[in-house]
Amino acid sequence: MSEPSVEILYEQVRALVPAQPAGPPAELVSVAPGIRVLALRTPTLPPAAHTNVYLVGPDAGPVAVIDPGSPYPEEQAILDQVLARVPPSAILLTHHHGDHVGGAAALAQRWSVPIAAHPATARRLAGRVQVTQSVADGETVSGATAIFTPGHAEGHLCFAIGDATIAGDMVAGIGTILIDPSEGDMAVYLSSLERLLARPPMTLLPAHGPAIRDGHAKLREYLAHRRMRESMVAAALGATPRTLREMVVEAYRDTPRALWPLAERSLLAHLVKLGREQRATDRGDGRWSA
């Protein structure tokens, strides 16, 4: 039986976990020098209900638009009203997930601007969104310097502007970050967190939720949490092979039951990492043992 896609899992969780109320229409807010944010409603993972669109550039434009993720016409219209005052010069994508790219193609067509992303993101989006400019690690595009941070997604980029870093889905100000082994890698994600932590102090600007002023503290928190979770996953392994459904009850006992379908994907990501380290064995029938 094939594994459920991330999108299907998101739908299952959305049916069980309430998102934040929609609230009033989004307003443009300055979060760092040369960076403004507009939180638009997207089909993202609850409890988040919005994805932050970041505008990078001078007050009068032109600006780079990072992650125009809303597929909803009424939300796209809000962004268009802002761009009528500060015209865009380019669209930058942190990665390929739908809540980050849902409005990119329409925006590029309306404003005749290029879409820039990592080559791995372009491959993932082939046939859905046409990426017209490739962005490599360390390259500066429209005033934003790309930092290659795979793990959540193979082509994930963060963008550094001065003392701020637009973090995509490396961290979240609300909700959680899913590492799904069908398109992510837990070990690589942890290395990407370490890479960000090795950079100078920064404000992290996540895709979901408010700015995180002490970015290093948040990165250390994320690393500690993942290590704690890995120890719980390792403890759930035994000599007798067990299924993900059996292990999730123990390894994610502090997680609401409604989130267990997603937790099973994260659990599997941890197991794959442990398997590479010869600390877990995949029995090949959906069961794992120590």
The set of catalytic residues is: 99
Q: Where are the alpha helices (DSSP H) in 55-174?
A: 73-83, 98-101, 104-111, 119-125
Q: How far apart are CA 100 and CA 34, in angstroms?
A: 21
> Is the separation of the CB atoms in 269 and 179 below 8 Å?
yes
Point out which residues pair with 202 in neighbouring strands. none
Q: How far apart are CA 18 and CA 57, in angstroms?
A: 35
Element (H, E) at 160: strand 157-161
Q: Where are the alpha helices (DSSP H) in 150-254?
A: 186-197, 215-236, 244-251
> Is the separation of the CB atoms in 56 and 143 below 8 Å?
yes
> What's the token pair of residue 284?
């090949």
